[in-house]
Structure 1
Amino acid sequence: MKKYIAEFIGTFILVFFGTGSVIVNEQFNNQLGLLGIAFTFGIIIMAIIYSLGNISGAHINPAVTITLLIGKLIDKKEALFYIIAQFIGALFASELLHLIFPNNLGLGSTNPSGSILQTIIIEIVSTFVLILTIFGVAQNETKTLAGLIVGLVVTGLILFAGPISGGSFNPARSFAPALISNNISHVWIYLTAPLVGSILALLLWNIITKEKEASR
């Protein structure tokens, strides 16, 4: 049960402060800017990994959990409850932000600024990089730096992807504000593209690790 509570809390914190930074930026004359939003997400992710990672692994992202499920690194029941906890945490955060900022129309939801194709490709490739990074830091001597590395990678990815796709890489992060603000026309992109990217990362990781083992 502790794991599911940790995933709920972690995803709540991510969405509250992450999408909250987008709202604050809109409400207060672009004071944060893209750099401030990107670093807010990155720093919050670092904090979540270091505070809750030893309890649940700090997935805080259905794409991560589904990837681990496909890779048989987590069982079906646990994965299901992780995902439920993540979406509920995200929805609670977006509902609270709606209460605080009732006049904000988007609540930090992600929408394509470029074309649909650009957004899909960027979300796939960015999630691919994120998941590959997570696999990498979890398997070697950099494990103790996982929070720092993953946080910085997310920061960099948002700086690149933010102006075009909104920089999501996380179905729960995009679904919650889209649902609460009733901006659901493009939410399908952010529910599907990260899953494609994460599965591609898993496939590549399996190929790389098998070749490494074979060469020993």
Structure 2
Amino acid sequence: MCVDDKNEFPSPLIIGLFTETIGTFIMMFIGCMGCLFQYGIGPVIPSFAFAFAILAALQMLHADGPVHLNPGVSIAFLIVQKMSWKRFLVYVVAQYIGCFLGWITLYVVAPDESQNICLLRLKWELSPIQGFVIEMLGATVLIWIVLGAIDAKNSALKDSLPVRIALGVCGIIFALEPLTGAGLNSARSFPPAAYYNNWKDHWLYELAPICGTSIGAVIYRFILDDEDKYSLHSYLKKAEEGGEA
């Protein structure tokens, strides 16, 4: 099953470039602002800051075409055949541009004493492999939330899509932030690492979200998606209907 790109994405490519750039700008500027001062209450502020930023971006821009805000989400959409290669490349470029612009804007306006703004680091002496697995599994859960939210069977719940995705992101960040900083997005992790020239363990923040969303998308498409003729769900459904007949 291959979804027609024009039907799934009603907006022209240039509008997709614009919405992804603006959306990731909002996510990075507001989300990372929530990481400046945590007031001794742990991951509460960062998780809600990123969640509300994503909610705002989705609510503002989703009507003009699906908003991904994350290269891993775009790769997952490729895997489940809801996106063309041309649009995928446009989206990924826009995501990195928007994240960089959002971060550099925050850096300019942040207090002078702010240091290592939104720079991701492993905590509690986690090994890079442990951090990789945690980030990968977090990204897997994230893409299941996204794919479940846009599933045709949930079409009656489209009005709450931004809220459901944002709350899912909030929960994942709340769990991961004390351990890995909760990257979950390769475009989000790149700007601070590049600016501070701090690449320690950075590879895992680039690869883990891509691996996690890819694995999640493959599982979703070939096991859970009853609309894909190659999925286990679809096969068992047809077998059950044949048996009843």
Contact 1:38/1:156 (8 A) holds in 2: yes
What residue is the counterpart of 1:213 in the other structure? 234
Matches within 5 A, 1:1-216: 1-25=14-38, 30=39, 33-101=42-110, 102-113=112-123, 114-139=126-151, 140-141=153-154, 142-206=157-221, 207-209=223-225, 210-214=231-235, 215-216=237-238
What residue is the counterpart of 2:242 in the other structure? none
CA distances 1:123-176 after superposition (whole Å, capped 9, x unpaired) = 000000000111111013233321111111111111110000101111111111
Contact 2:79/2:218 (8 A) holds in 1: no
| Cα distance in 2 between the residues matched to 1:83 and 1:181 | 22
| Cα distance in 2 between the residues matched to 1:24 and 1:38 | 13
Could you tell me which amino acid in structure 2 is paired with residue 8 of structure 1?
T
Contact 1:105/1:181 (8 A) holds in 2: no
**Larger-gyration structure (1/2):** 2
Could you tell me which amino acid in structure 1 is paired with residue 224 of structure 2?
I
Query: Match of 1:22, SS?
Result: coil
Report the CA distance between 1:205 and its aligned residue: 0.4
Q: What residue ranges of structure 1 are gaps of 5+ in the alignment?
A: none
| Cα distance in 2 between the residues matched to 1:134 and 1:112 | 26
| Cα distance in 2 between the residues matched to 1:93 and 1:182 | 18
| Cα distance in 2 between the residues matched to 1:5 and 1:78 | 12
Could you tell me which amino acid in structure 1 is paired with residue 90 of structure 2?
F
Query: Match of 1:23, SS?
Result: coil
Q: Which has the higher helix share?
A: 1
Instruction: Count residues in correspondence.
Output: 212
Q: Cα RMSD (Å) of the superposition?
A: 1.6
Compare relative contact order (CA 8 Å, sep 6+) and give the higher one, 1 or 2.
1
Q: TM-score, normalised by structure 1?
A: 0.92
Q: What residue ranges of structure 2 are gaps of 5+ in the alignment?
A: 1-13, 226-230, 239-245
